[in-house]
Copies of this chain bind each other. A is one copy, B any other.
Amino acid sequence: MRRLELTGLEGLGEVVRGNSVGQLIHQACSRLGISLVEGDILVVAHKIVSKAEGRVSRLDEIEPSAQAVELSGPLNKDPRLLEVILGESRRIIKMGGGTIIVETHHGFICANAGVDLSNVGLGHVALLPQEPDRSAEEIREEVRQLSGVATGVIVSDSFGRPWRLGTTDVALGVAGLKPLRDDRGKNDGYNYELRAAVTAVADEIASAASLIMGKRNRVPVVLVRGCDVELEKGSARELLRPEEEDLFRKF
């Protein structure tokens, strides 16, 4: 029987700048009696990665630009928050109804450039990691050194999407796994050659982990065991649809 098992690694405590996330994960595994094995994937909420990397700003230290002040009225947002959002953005994709959708410097298209006030302490905002693939690779390397096991690592965040309500978690950074599974050209068992058969497995793994993380559970890391993915070098950039192939970026 095909099985998939997800376990929340709780009790990591408050993560602060300079912490080694890999070490915290290793300690949590020891405390919970979990031995990592080949093929395990660790999904890490970006929030603790951002905290460990110092990607947290204090709002009262932000001086909003004229553009941030101008947008703050129609968007009904704190101009200092908007200043941080604009600083993280390559361009604005769409605004309306109090929502600002941007393309971040990484190439992610999401609300607020991923800048977030929750789970970070009052008066503070967390930014996305600067290079989430590198963050994932560092965690993978730390865990490998401490445990001797090379796991896959996904750094995740909750993104909204057009047309459907509610967020689902996606992969911002990956290490040690291919984020897409491409079944095109393979046979479906009915002698039909599959065409539209590229699956965003890293995003699906992030979404699965989100079911345990929640927003209020303080479970920032989830161990996923039994996942049938290619454990090779990969990058979350592979998940980004090139602009010229995107029907919903050009207006």
Contact = CB atoms under 8 A, between A and B. Distances in A.
Interface string A77-118: 000000000000000001111010100000001011000111
A226 to B, nearest CB: 8
A81 B85 CA distance: 44
A200 to B, nearest CB: 3
Nearest to A110: B163
A163 B241 contact: yes
Given A97-B245, A118-B192, A207 B216 contact: no
Contacts of A146: none
B204 A208 contact: yes
B119 A188 contact: yes
How many of chain A's residues touch chain B, expressed as a range? 35 or more
Contacts of A1: 7-8, 10, 32
B32 A208 contact: no
B190 A119 contact: yes
Contacts of A2: 7-8, 10, 212, 217, 219
A247 interface: yes
A122 B153 CA distance: 39
A216 B188 CA distance: 5
B8 A5 contact: no
Interface in A161-204: 161-170, 179-181, 183, 186-192, 194-201, 203-204
B10 A164 contact: no
Interface in A211-247: 211-212, 214-219, 227-228, 238-241, 245-247
Nearest to A198: B166
Interface of A: 1-8, 10, 32, 94-97, 99, 101, 109, 111-112, 116-122, 158, 160-170, 179-181, 183, 186-192, 194-201, 203-205, 207-208, 210-212, 214-219, 227-228, 238-241, 245-249, 251
17 contacts: A3-B7, A6-B6, A97-B245, A99-B247, A111-B196, A118-B197, A162-B246, A163-B248, A166-B179, A166-B181, A168-B168, A168-B207, A183-B215, A189-B218, A201-B211, A204-B210, A208-B211
